[in-house]
Amino acid sequence: MDPWNEPAVPPECLDTGPYPVKNVSHFYTSEYDHHLFQNTLQSNIVIFIVPILSGIGVTASLLVALLLQHPDLRGFSSMILQANLFTDVVYLITATFVIIPKFQLSELYLAGKYDEFWKNLAGIQDTYIIGYPIYRETGSLSVWYTAALIMEQYLAYANPEKLARWAEKGLKIKMIITLLNANILVHIMLFFKFVKEGICVAQYPVEEEDAKNLYGIYKANLVCLSTTYRKPGYIIYEKYIYYFLFDLLPWVLSLCALGMSYAYYKLQKQQLAANAHIFTGTLLRTFQSGRSVENTFGIMIAFLSITFIRHIAYMICHPNMVIGELDQHCNLNPFDIYNLQVHQVFTTIFFYAPYLNALVKPWICLFLHQGLKIMLMAFYRRTQKCLKITGRNLCLVLDCSRPTPPSDDIGMAASNNDLLRSEGEATAAPYSNGELHAYENIATD
């Protein structure tokens, strides 16, 4: 087979065409492109595990966000947490589409389906170019929403009157929207980060005995950094300034706010132990509707711990991020600007740490948020009671212990009374002992 004379060969790939021709082995042995051609244990784990984890995380985040819409759980803290959870939902979805597709192509390549391989590669590159800016933007926004959550908790302790005025004027919604708009403006240039450059690939079969026989010529695209991103000034900005403003600074602010909030929390515990009046200004705003101090502390501890490991990985990788090499980044496999030429473990930690933080956040809420736990327990008891009543009514209908069903008026009346008593239990108040009016829900916004 001589593909140079076949009509299927793209005209750009002929001898007089504008695109250069490279052997597929050039990409097969590349540090960044080998995942497209080789089926490794890591790729198999990523293909099966990441979609499952993302699906569980998205479902849990949406569940918690919807439960926080309950009137007894609405508040400033809950609104920030809801915005954070919805941001994590978008982040998990885009992260999945950015990570997964490039690992699935190796199956087509190893099966010898080269036409499908190069055709699907173009779609994966387009998906990455569109999804990557959203992935980076939502990841950064989630970090700042998490920092805003603990800083709001600190203001609830330190200056509750000002926090109450902000809530009354609707500034809580403006603050959430302002963070969103500012984050979009900062990351808008990411949509112009990558450009495509045409190239032709000389494809050889996978089998060793056919390695010298040319299979075909395919027109493909390289994903390269745009001209703006290749400038040393912008690379320095992303390497130092962006990392400080959108990774390190919110982490430091969160750590300080957590320490000061915990000091206020201990002081408040002492006041309550001394029988301080619960309806003082500070305590009133601290225990406002929807607030769960333990939940906020749990989210912050997980965020600070996971992000700290990520910072350590970045510091280790940082000396190997050579600015001059970034100008040569053109690959089949879309890849980030970070050139972490160190051990694969550090690169994996740096990439998956925010993903892990988005996964564990809703579960922390389900286990530590007092209002959510009370609501779920009440729902569980109501469900158990309804199932018990349904089973009891079914027994009344299918009761075989009696020789004959009640046919007289007295028997029917007795059966109806039993049914009414059972239905009365079902319509009883679902919340006993003021379950949803726990100490955290004393005041509302």
Res. 375: pLDDT tops 90: no
Q: What is the 3-state secondary structure (H, E, C) of 325-394?
A: HHHHCEECCCCCCCCCCCCHHHHHHHHHHHHHHHHHHHHHHHHHCHHHHHHHHHHHHHHHHHHHHHHHHH
Beta strands in 137-278 (DSSP E): 194-203, 216-225
CATH code of 3-368, in short, is 1.20.1070.10
Q: Which residue matches tokens 């969103």?
A: 180
Tell me what pLDDT residue 126 has: 87
pLDDT in tens, 394-445: 555 444 444 444 444 444 444 444 434 444 444 344 444 434 333 333 333 3
Tell me what pLDDT residue 14 has: 67
The domain limits of the chain are 3-368, 377-441
Range of 283-292, 293-302, 411-420 with top mean pLDDT = 293-302
Q: Within 13 Å of residue 286, how many CA atoms lie on the same side as its CB? A: 22
Residue 338 or residue 40, greater confidence = 40
Range of 88-92, 271-275, 422-426, 433-437 with top mean pLDDT = 88-92
Residue 97 or residue 441, greater confidence = 97
- Residue 63 pLDDT level (bands cut at 50, 70, 90): very high
- Residue 1 pLDDT level (bands cut at 50, 70, 90): very low
Res. 282: pLDDT tops 60: no
Tell me what pLDDT residue 166 has: 72
Res. 286: pLDDT tops 50: no
Structure token digits, residue 337: 């600007």
Tell me what pLDDT residue 252 has: 94
Q: Which residue matches tokens 């200004």?
A: 281
Res. 153: pLDDT tops 90: no
- How much is the average pLDDT of 198-219? 70
Residues 6+ apart with CB under 8 A from 150: 254, 257, 258, 261, 296, 299, 300
Decide: pTM greater than 0.95.
no
Q: Report d(CA 174, CA 180) in Å as an integer.
A: 10
Q: Report d(CA 102, CA 372) in Å as an integer.
A: 39
Flag the least confident range among 29-43, 44-58, 122-136: 29-43
DSSP letters along 420-432, please? Answer: HHHHHHHTS-SS-
Averaged pLDDT score across all residues of the chain: 75
Closest CA to 215 of 198, 201, 235: 201
Tell me what pLDDT residue 401 has: 47
- How much is the average pLDDT of 133-145? 92
Q: Report d(CA 123, CA 52) in Å as an integer.
A: 23
Res. 34: pLDDT tops 50: yes
Tell me what pLDDT residue 358 has: 94
Res. 323: pLDDT tops 90: no
pLDDT in tens, 225-251: 887 777 777 777 877 888 888 889 999
Closest CA to 445 of 177, 178, 179, 166: 166
Res. 119: pLDDT tops 80: yes
